[in-house]
Amino acid sequence: MRKYLDYSWIGIKEHTAYAGAVRANFVSKIVYLYMQFAMWTALFASNAGKDVPMSRDGTLRYVIVATILSAFVECDVIGRINQQIRTGDIANRLIRPMDFRAMVFFRQLGTSAAGLVLYALPLTILIALLYREPLVCSEQLPYGILSVLLAYLIQFLYSLIIGLMAFWLIVTWPLNMLLAAIYKLLSGAWIPAAMFPDLLAKINLFLPFRAIYAIPVSIITTPMSQDSIRSELGVQLLWAVILFGIAELTWHAGRKKLIVQGG
Amino acid sequence: MYLLKMYRHFVVIYMKGKLAYHCSLLFELIANTIQIGIYFAGFLVIFRNFDNIAGWSRDEVLFMFTTSWLAYSLSCFFFWSPMKDMGELIRSGKFDLYLTRPIGPMLYMVLQQFQYTFIPRLVLSVYFWIRSMSKLSIAWNAQSLLWYAVNMLSAFVIFSSITVFTGSISFWTVKSEEIVSLLTNNNYGLKNYTDYPVTIYNKGVRFLLCFIVPYAFTGYYPVAGLLGKPLPHPCFAYLSPLIAFVSLVAAKFLWSSGLGHYNSAGA
């Protein structure tokens, strides 16, 4: 266990080493959040009386919580695995007496810990000072936290699978860019999933993306019945199991395929 | 004329290099198309739920930001890639190479490449630009058409100046990538602010978008003037060419003093 935690420590250090980058990242999150805040406020203000699936406060809560979550849920697992496979560096990892996937996971935990402390917490404090409305449904918060943990796992497994695609693809970034774009829209990190047109919402039911933002953020910010909370958590659990299975298959098939370039 | 000829030669060589990796170029274009397409899709999703923002209908907003995006894509063909790389060029000392060329370093850097990854953005912008324009009844006449063209050119100059400005900062601080990303990142960059009428922001931000990073003059103000939208300061609708001129002078000045300041990476 100790040796894995060392990887987490590396992840933390990697993300705290450049103070300038941390500052720029933090500023970019505020830039983003303010734009979302201004946009949704203006949209609701100029469409008074129109039937919108969400309320103004509900939408703002959603956008704020989603942005805070993204500060530690998002990861660079895809890029890192891609690079290790492409350069052959993965061979150096495979000879270590540790499980590759666990190594990646613990390093990611470190990155997330850094994200939590450097971005998520300061953002939360800043928002608590500036936006004086209640942000969360406190009685649903325990379920919300459980849902965030599941979302984190799903995000990681998804990234692991896509990252391992480098075993079969030579150029991986177009796939990453494509998936990142789909992810941005369908996960609900950008626009609340409740506002999607029917067709998009139906397609989304069969994809794992909404389990990463739309479900946990809704549980945290929108009052829901016990039944629907349970079924949403069930959906997440199902996706976690499915993606775990796919990740296992991809990993074992990929290892067989591995040819490290050079002598 | 000889510049055009030189540019043609450079671009042919550049594209040959890119085409050597058969599918990679195609994938890049497809990936970019989807990325920009998703942005438009999201925009349409938002406006499925709402009729207008700050008195601007969906098509008016579309027309406004595609106007700005058209100029942006064209500007990025030339300036985005060299200026994004400035930090790296200076860190590694490779910028010396450009100083030894028989033409100016800026001209050389602009001519030797062609950032084709902005083609999908341009094409999609043109599509939505035409679509939104056909839904709006703009009374075009020779005068308004000419004025619109002048504003488009101003937007091109403003975007290019901002890009050169951010690139020139690399002469002093070696990490300019963060500033470039803070301004132009597709997800959270400041440029995204101008996809909506700037009246939705508070005074400070509006001032920033008008006079510090004058993105508001690339789309919002000239188009508001064209569509006859009420503006807090109606004269702003006519300021774009002036702002463009000032940005150009400022960017030119910063670039030249940066060049003077540059004394290689040592070794």
* C-alpha span between B206 and B224 (Å, rounded): 15
**How far is Cα A207 from Cα A160, in angstroms, rounded to an integer?**
16
Q: Are residues A181 and B38, on separate chains, in Cβ contact within 8 Å?
A: yes
Q: Phi/psi of residue A219, each to 5°? A: -60, -40
Q: Greater confidence, B22 or B249?
A: B249
| CA–CA min distance A25, chain B (Å) | 8
ipTM for the complex shown: 0.88
A vs B: CB pairs below 8 A: 105
Give B57's strand partners: B52
3-class SS shares of chain A: helix, strand, coil, % to 5 = 80, 0, 20
Of B21, B32, B188, the CB nearest to A28: B188
User: Among positive and negative, which fits the CA dihedral B8, B124, B57, A63?
Assistant: negative
C-alpha B244/C-alpha B150 separation (Å) is 10
User: How many whole angstroms separate alpha carbon A44 and alpha carbon A197?
Assistant: 18
In this prediction, residue A3 carries a pLDDT of 80
Is A84:A258 a contact under the CB 8 Å cutoff? no
Total residue count of chain B as it appears in this document = 267
Residues of A in contact with B192 (CB under 8 A): 35
Interface residue B186 vs chain A (CB under 8 A)? no
Taking only the tens place, the pLDDT of each residue in B59-70 is 999 999 999 999
Query: Which among B50, B188, B202 has CB closest to A32?
Result: B188
pLDDT of residue A126: 92
Q: Which of B262, B266, B267 is CA-nearest to residue B87?
A: B262
Q: Could A31 and B21 be called an inter-chain contact, meaning their C-beta atoms sit closer than 8 Å?
A: no
| Nearest alpha-carbon partner for A226 in A139, A145, A121, A113 | A139
Residues 113-152 of A with CB under 8 A from B: none
Instruction: Examine residue B93 and state whether it is found in any structural domain, yes or no.
Output: yes
Amino acid B15: pLDDT? 84
Q: Within a domain: residue B2?
A: no
Quote the CA–CA distance of A113 and A19 in Å, as a whole number. 16
Reported as a single tens digit per residue, the pLDDT across B79-116 is 988 888 888 888 888 888 888 888 888 888 888 888 88
Supply the pLDDT for residue A256. 83
Instruction: Please work out, in degrees rounded to the nearest 5, the angle formed at the alpha carbon of residue A135 by the alpha carbons of A130 and A136.
Output: 160
Give the per-residue pLDDT at B171. Answer: 86
Separation CA B176–CA B163 (nearest Å): 11
**Assigned domain for B22 exists:** yes
Contact between residue B228 and residue B136 where contact means Cβ atoms under 8 Å apart: no
Among the partner-chain residues A20, A21, A185, the one whose CB lies closest to the CB of B41 is A185
- Chain centroid offset of residue A173 CA: 18
- Establish if B267 belongs to a structural domain: no
Report pLDDT for B267. 46
* pLDDT value, residue A68: 92
Q: CB-hemisphere CA count at 13 Å for B142? A: 0
For residue A188, the one-letter residue type is G
Structural domain includes residue B75:
yes
Does B266 fall in a domain? no
CA distance B189 to A34: 11
CB distance B49–A31 less than 8 Å? no
How does pLDDT run along chain A (263 residues), one tens digit per residue?
Answer: 788 888 888 888 877 777 777 888 899 999 999 999 999 999 999 988 788 888 899 999 999 999 999 988 888 888 888 888 888 788 888 888 888 889 899 989 999 999 999 999 999 999 988 888 888 888 899 999 999 999 999 999 999 999 998 888 877 777 888 888 888 899 988 899 889 999 999 999 999 999 999 999 999 998 889 999 999 999 999 999 999 999 999 999 988 877 655 54
Residue from B84, B51, B67 nearest A47 by CA: B51
**Residue A259, CA distances (Å) to A88, A90, A97, A166, A246 in order:** 8, 10, 20, 12, 21
Nearest residue on chain B to A55, judged by CA atoms?
B49
Enter the tokens of residue A66. 């989603």
Q: What is the pLDDT of residues B23-66, one digit of tens each?
A: 778 888 888 899 899 999 999 999 999 999 999 999 999 999 99
- Name the nearest CA neighbour of B25 among B135, B137, B116, B90: B116
Exposure of B232 by Cβ count < 10 A (0-12 exposed, 13-18 middle, 19+ buried)? exposed
Helix orientation angle between A173-186 and A198-205, rounded to the nearest 10 degrees? 120
Measure Cα distances from B48 to A66, B59, B96, B136, B176 in Å: 21, 12, 53, 18, 38
Instruction: Report B:20-59 residues touching A (Cβ under 8 A).
Output: 21, 23-24, 27-28, 30-32, 34-35, 37-38, 41-42, 45-46, 48-55
> Positive or negative, the Cα torsion across B140, B141, B142, B144?
negative
pLDDT digits (tens, 9 = 90+) for B187-242: 788 999 999 999 999 999 999 999 999 999 999 999 999 998 888 888 898 999 99
Domain of B249 in residue numbering reads as 7-261
pTM: 0.88
Could you report how far apart the first and last alpha carbons of chain A are, in Å?
Answer: 33
First-last CA distance in chain B: 39
- Phi and psi of B202, rounded to 5°? -80, 175
Domain total of chain B: 1
The answer to whether A177 contacts chain B (CB < 8 Å) is yes
- Angle between helix B22-49 and helix A173-186 axes, rounded to 10 deg: 10
Q: CB-based contacts of B219: which residues, under 8 Å, 6+ apart?
A: B64, B65, B67, B68, B69, B155, B194
pLDDT digits (tens, 9 = 90+) for B116-168: 889 999 999 999 999 999 999 888 899 999 999 999 999 999 999 999 998 89
- pLDDT-based confidence at residue B266 (cuts at 50, 70, 90): low
Tokens found for residue A106: 């613990």
Q: In this structure, are residues A218 and A133 in contact, taking their beta carbons and an 8 Å threshold?
A: no
Q: Which residue of B has its CA nearest to A178?
A: B31
SS (H, E, C) chain B: CHHHHHHHHHHHHHHHHHHCCHHHHHHHHHHHHHHHHHHHHHHHHHHHHCCEECCEEHHHHHHHHHHHHHHHHHHHHHHHHHHHHHHHHHHHCCHHHHHCCCCCHHHHHHHCCCCHHHHHHHHHHHHHHHHHHHHCCCCCCHHHHHHHHHHHHHHHHHHHHHHHHHHHHCCCCCCCHHHHHHHHCCCCCHHHHHHCCHHHCCHHHHHHHHHHCCHHHCCHHHHHHHHCCCCCCHHHHHCHHHHHHHHHHHHHHHHHHHHHHCCCCCC
Burial A205-236 (b: 16+ CB within 10 A, else e): eeebbbbbbbbbbbbbbbebeeeebeebbebb
Mutation target among A32, A34, A46 for the B interface, most CBs of B within 10 A: A46
Token pair belonging to B117: 């990854």
